[in-house]
Chain A
């Protein structure tokens, strides 16, 4: 079946511009997660959605970062006034959630963001 998809696959932007990254989770997965992967920091958690609400936003590095999820499906991660340190691969994952338990997370291919 279809996996997690993300768009764009690559994004180059100038410092100070805003960017939007999109994630389409696996159909039926109610939990959705954003992570980022960078050379210096490894894999870091950003935010997690259960349905359309975000119970855990603890990983968002600054108030320039925000995310939303609509219809319990697609999610958008927005970075305002991008900085060079925002350059990374942004990963989205989704998981099935039922009976008070979450299951394994499946990852998308990521969006490589380069801020020049």
Chain B
């Protein structure tokens, strides 16, 4: 079974600081990788995704993530955070099965980002 680790549980940054949130997964096969964001009082929204190809993927609102296969990592980055980035961020994976069926997402425990003015 796959698992996802997010090492930072709570991160506090000042506006304009750079952000990097760690995500590591454990799975023996090929996976799809995602970052979701949950703003206060809102539902989960897709921030970015990786299926194949260029391991550096760009998402909405200036976020990007890099898939490093050898490290089983998919870290989220943003060069300069804004107060409006205050939210909870979830890394998620699902296996890419050969059986022609879809598959469930396995989530990390989430990282709460607080951006101060």
* B104–A55 touching, CB < 8 Å: no
Given A91-B44, A107-B43, A33–B109 Cβ distance below 8 Å?
no
Select which of A35, A95, A100, A107 is within 8 A of B100 by beta carbon.
Answer: A100
Contact with B along A76-116 (1 / 0, CB 8 A): 00000000000000010101010011101111111000000
Which of A16-24, A40-48, A66-74 has 4 or more CB atoms under 8 Å from chain B? A40-48
Q: How large is the interface on B (under 10, 10 to 19, 20 to 34, 35 or more residues)?
A: 20 to 34
Main secondary structure of the interface of A (DSSP, over half): strand
Interface residues of B in 1-57 (CB under 8 A from A): 32, 34, 36, 42-46, 49
Task: Tell me how far the C-beta of B63 lies from the nearest C-beta in chain A, rounded to whole angstroms.
Answer: 15
Closest 8 CB pairs of A and B: A102-B102, A100-B100, A43-B107, A45-B104, A107-B44, A31-B102, A109-B43, A42-B109
Interfacial residues, chain B to chain A (CB-CB below 8 A): 32, 34, 36, 42-46, 49, 90, 92, 94, 96, 100-110
